[in-house]
Amino acid sequence: MPFFAGMIQHKKILITGGAGFIGSNLCEKFLAQNNEVVCLDNLSTGLSQNIEPYLANPRFKWLEGDIRSLNLCIEAAKGVDMICHQAALGSVPRSVANPLPSHEHNVTGFLNILEAAKANAVRRVVYASSSSVYGDAPELPKREEKIGLPLSPYAVTKLADELYAHVFGALYPLELIGLRYFNVFGKKQRPDGPYAAVIPKFIALMLAGQAPEIHGDGSQSRDFTHINNVLKANELALETQNPLAYNTVYNVACGSNTTVLELFEGIKTLLAPDYPHIAAMQPCFVPKRAGDVAHSLASIERAENLLGYEPTHDFEQGLTEAIAWYKKHHS
């Protein structure tokens, strides 16, 4: 059997956090490929409008509920072929402001999903981790085997998930694959709220004629990763038959980094032709945030070698597509 089988079809997939940004894009992808999808989400950060187009699809099952309920997780995982676990309470600043909910959703909820997989004999679980686990490790690019000390409660929760996955993979007949996402962006990502990600927040503010805030001097850099790269990585991780690929973690990124100031200028360049008021806009600089990492750049060699991963979108292409989507949906 080849390690990389291609497209997932005719499977039943549980997607937790399926009404969220990444989860709803995964629902869309796998439904389009003739799979059955069970979507579990409590709508704490996800949006019902993200899954509204699929509600009439007979291959789509919507469960409004919370991964903090073990019984619900076990029920949701009945009869599924694989689990794609995206549900989490995201945001470093949110976790700094209120650590307990982050722990409950991200650690207890994750443990419930592992228990549900074990109880239902669902071998393959692909779960969302985060580049935040690298913490204070100074090395660039970030390689999976070299992490530092976490800098936020959110980072602690994601590291705890990886440790639980390691133990469950060693003790039980499970094939667990963690994906360390690096600053994902793209269609359906919320621009509103105090914990909105930087790209949709900048776009929304600039379209509204407001200068965005940059924390620090803008020299901090990120490996901004378009949603299509994340969809591809999830599919590869769900379908790989490479035994060396199981029970480990992978960076999911582009392998290039961009400063926040460069990001601002890139958005301005793409928006200004249609919105002339943006051409002269300058950002507002505010103090650095607690828990933020200075620089983030991924090595994607492990994902390339063991999963067959290759980014479909570089940063420029991804930003162009994202801005086109936000312009279309801007009111």
User: Active-site residues: which are they?
Assistant: 154
Give, in order, the Cα–Cα distances in Å from 225 to each of 2, 285, 321, 327: 28, 24, 12, 20
- N- to C-terminal Cα distance for the chain? 50
DSSP annotation of 324 reads: H
Which amino acid, one-letter code, is at 264? F
DSSP letter string, 91-137? -HHHHHH-HHHHHIIIIIHHHHHHHHHHHTT--EEEEEEEGGGGTT-
Tokens 């709508």 sit on residue: 43
Q: Closest by alpha carbon to 275, among 213, 198, 327?
A: 327
Residue 247: count of CB within 10 angstroms of its CB: 17
Q: Under a CB-based contact definition with an 8 Å cutoff, are residues 238 and 124 in contact?
A: yes
Alpha-carbon span 36 to 78, nearest angstrom: 13
